Amino acid sequence: MCYINNTVGKFLCNAVNDYGRLSAFGPSTTCSVSCGSGGIHYRATAEDYLCVDENVESRKCNQLACPINGGWGKFSEWSKCPKYYVPIPDIMEPNIPKIKVTLNTYKPIPEETFLEHLSRLRVVHDEAQTKNSSSSNNLESDSTESVRKDLMKQITVFRLVMIFSQLLFRRLVSMTKCHHHQDLRN
């Protein structure tokens, strides 16, 4: 619909003269998004300079889901180093620092899992001490040091395996979340 707007007021163009018709719809605008449901607009304008109106029609476009890039986000800042007590005397320090770095929603290693593994390592250590109890003091201290070094290597490997597992798990979770959000958009 087109209107004449002048000092007298607003009138329907067709009621006053035959010149106040809207043009045919012009070319569409480009889609507002490249994926994920956007909109394009078609515009028709008045053919008479006295008419000051336009008609706009909109339609949906690019309704396909956006691709998942699967890339990693940025690493967060390093966390502070909390200390917690692990009761494994004579093997390592009583307070073991634990540092984590996060990658988006990356979760740290559960403390219980880490402590379970350390408990198993303590059993190995106790068995090694029992075997060597009949040895001389010199041999016993060498053996204890050897066991301690082996345990530290195992702990380091365990930590690396846990971190790698968590990174893989985080990637799977993020991919699942992406698919879930796309399903909600459709």
End-to-end CA, the chain: 35
> What is the pLDDT, as a whole number, of residue 80?
63
> What is the pLDDT, as a whole number, of residue 117?
60
The two tokens of residue 125 are 């250590």
Specify the pTM.
Answer: 0.25
The two tokens of residue 139 are 């041999």
> What is the pLDDT, as a whole number, of residue 158?
77
- Indicate the DSSP class of residue 105: T
Length of the chain: 186
> What is the pLDDT, as a whole number, of residue 11?
45
Q: How far is CA 60 from CA 29, 30, 37, in A?
A: 12, 11, 7
Residues of the chain where predicted confidence (pLDDT) is lower than 50: 1-18, 84-94, 96-107, 136-137, 139-140, 178-186
Q: Which class does domain 3-61 fall in? A: mainly beta
Q: Which residue has the tokens 């930590």?
A: 159
Could you state, in order of their start, the residue ranges of all structural domains in the chain?
3-61, 75-185
3-state SS assignment for residue 39: strand
Query: How far is 75 from 72, CA to CA, in rounded Å?
Result: 9
Any bridge partners for residue 39, and if so which?
Answer: 60
Closest CA to 30 of 54, 59, 53, 55: 59
